[in-house]
């Protein structure tokens, strides 16, 4: 009678679970082999995990809804107060960027100290008329030292590209001549040519061609930067400024601006590559002694700019 009568009970999920996943009676497990038992156990485990995933998904949706409401309220308060920045997440990102900038400033200070030591050694060797082999070791070391600063700047650009572009790691007088996080290669070559005379005709032609190609690359990068700034301004100005806007539209607008702003790091990296390649090609064009004088002149020029900044800061004020 029990085997032939229909099973009683509600047809709910709990009931299904009890009929499928519930414990098996000795009479029902009599004829089941181990493979079937293992399959039933796997089915019960899969159903349990599915229920857990569904529960977690529902909780995540609810949490996202709460966060979205909080964000909407914060944006509304920010509009009423007249600003949009601030908040814990912004403080965190600012702290991380500041940490990267501080680390770069410290490394750059050490780099300057080592450059001063190298310049003193180069000046002494030139005055002592050491052999070309001895001088070549110092020149190669000076070139390797510039390789190091470009490596440091690449890492710094990933951490805080705005710090490099602003030139806050330079002195005020140096910042007057800043171009995309550093010096203009073409302008530096223009300064160096009188310091390297006499030059052979072939050397002079090589330096002039290098200056011209550097100028063309600088112009292309400058135009790209201007286009980026214009595109970024257009993106931020989309819609009605100062009026209430939809949170989703606002966040989408910020996401587009962030994507465009990400190319700034690429521009700074290309500018540093141009500076690096210009120094390397100049090194190949010049003789060992001319290259020594060139690196010495570069160090002295930027040293004078730093000294000018110190004098300006110490000037008497009424």
> pLDDT (tens digit, 9 = 90+) per residue, 92-149?
444 445 678 899 999 999 999 999 999 999 999 999 999 999 999 999 999 999 999 9
And the tokens for 260? 């465009």
Q: CA-to-CA distance for 77 and 84, rounded, in angstroms?
A: 9
Query: In total, how many domains does the chain have?
Result: 2
Residue 1 lies in a domain: no
Using alpha carbons, select from 221, 216, 196, 213 the residue that is nearest to residue 285.
Answer: 196
Same domain? For 67 and 115 the reply is no
What pLDDT sits at residue 11?
43
Confidence of residue 46 (pLDDT cuts 50, 70, 90): confident
Confidence of residue 2 (pLDDT cuts 50, 70, 90): very low
Residue 110 lies in a domain: yes
Confidence of residue 262 (pLDDT cuts 50, 70, 90): confident
* 192 and 297 Cβ atoms separated by less than 8 Å: yes
Same domain? For 158 and 293 the reply is yes
User: What's the average model confidence in pLDDT over 22-33?
Assistant: 55
Q: CA-to-CA distance for 117 and 296, rounded, in angstroms?
A: 11
> pLDDT (tens digit, 9 = 90+) per residue, 191-216?
999 999 899 999 999 999 999 999 99
Residue 287, classed as helix, strand or coil, is coil
Confidence of residue 12 (pLDDT cuts 50, 70, 90): very low
Boundaries of domain holding 55: 36-81
- By CB neighbour count within 10 A (0-12 exposed, 13-18 middle, 19+ buried), where does 136 fall? middle
And the tokens for 207? 């330096």
Same domain? For 142 and 174 the reply is yes
Task: Please state, in angstroms and as integers, the Cα–Cα distance from residue 21 to each residue in 17, 37, 39, 40, 51, following that order.
Answer: 5, 11, 11, 8, 13
Mean pLDDT of the chain: 82
Residue 59: pLDDT over 60: yes
- The beta strands (E) that lie in 17-56 are given as none
Residue 297 lies in a domain: yes
What pLDDT sits at residue 224?
95
What pLDDT sits at residue 243?
56
* 202 and 227 Cβ atoms separated by less than 8 Å: no
Same domain? For 53 and 184 the reply is no
Q: CA-to-CA distance for 182 and 279, rounded, in angstroms?
A: 13
Give percent of the chain with pLDDT exceeding 90.
55
Same domain? For 58 and 117 the reply is no
Residue 303 lies in a domain: yes
Cis peptide preceding 198, ω within 30 of 0: yes
Same domain? For 197 and 74 the reply is no
Residue 308: pLDDT over 60: yes
And the tokens for 156? 């710094």
What pLDDT sits at residue 64?
67
Confidence of residue 3 (pLDDT cuts 50, 70, 90): very low
Same domain? For 270 and 299 the reply is yes
């Amino acid at each position: 009678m029990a085997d032939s009568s229909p099973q009683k009970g509600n047809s709910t999920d709990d009931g299904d679970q009890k009929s499928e996943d519930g414990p098996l009676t000795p009479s029902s497990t009599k004829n089941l082999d181990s493979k079937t038992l293992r399959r039933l156990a796997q089915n019960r485990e899969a159903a349990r995990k599915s229920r857990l995933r569904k529960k977690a998904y529902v909780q995540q949706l609810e949490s996202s809804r709460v966060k979205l409401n909080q964000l909407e309220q914060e944006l509304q308060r920010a509009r009423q107060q007249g600003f949009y920045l601030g908040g814990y997440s912004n403080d965190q990102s600012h702290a991380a960027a500041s940490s990267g900038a501080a680390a770069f400033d410290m490394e750059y200070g050490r780099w300057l100290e080592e450059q001063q030591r190298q310049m003193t050694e180069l000046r002494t060797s030139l005055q002592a008329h050491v052999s070309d082999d001895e001088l070549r070791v110092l020149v190669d070391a000076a070139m390797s030292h510039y390789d190091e600063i470009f490596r440091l700047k690449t890492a710094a650009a990933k951490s805080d590209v705005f710090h490099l572009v602003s030139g806050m790691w330079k002195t005020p007088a140096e910042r007057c001549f800043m171009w995309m996080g550093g010096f203009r290669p073409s302008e530096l070559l223009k300064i160096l040519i009188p310091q390297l005379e006499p030059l052979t005709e072939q050397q002079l032609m090589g330096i002039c061609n290098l200056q011209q190609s550097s100028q063309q690359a600088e112009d292309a990068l400058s135009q790209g930067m201007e286009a980026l700034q214009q595109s970024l301004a257009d993106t931020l100005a989309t819609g009605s400024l100062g009026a209430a806007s939809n949170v989703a539209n606002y966040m989408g607008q910020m996401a587009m601006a962030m994507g465009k702003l990400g190319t700034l790091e690429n521009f700074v990296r290309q500018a540093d590559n141009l500076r690096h390649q210009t120094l390397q090609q100049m090194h190949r064009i010049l003789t060992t002694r001319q290259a020594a004088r060139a690196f010495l002149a570069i160090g002295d020029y930027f040293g004078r700019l730093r000294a000018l900044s110190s004098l300006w800061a110490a000037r008497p004020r009424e």
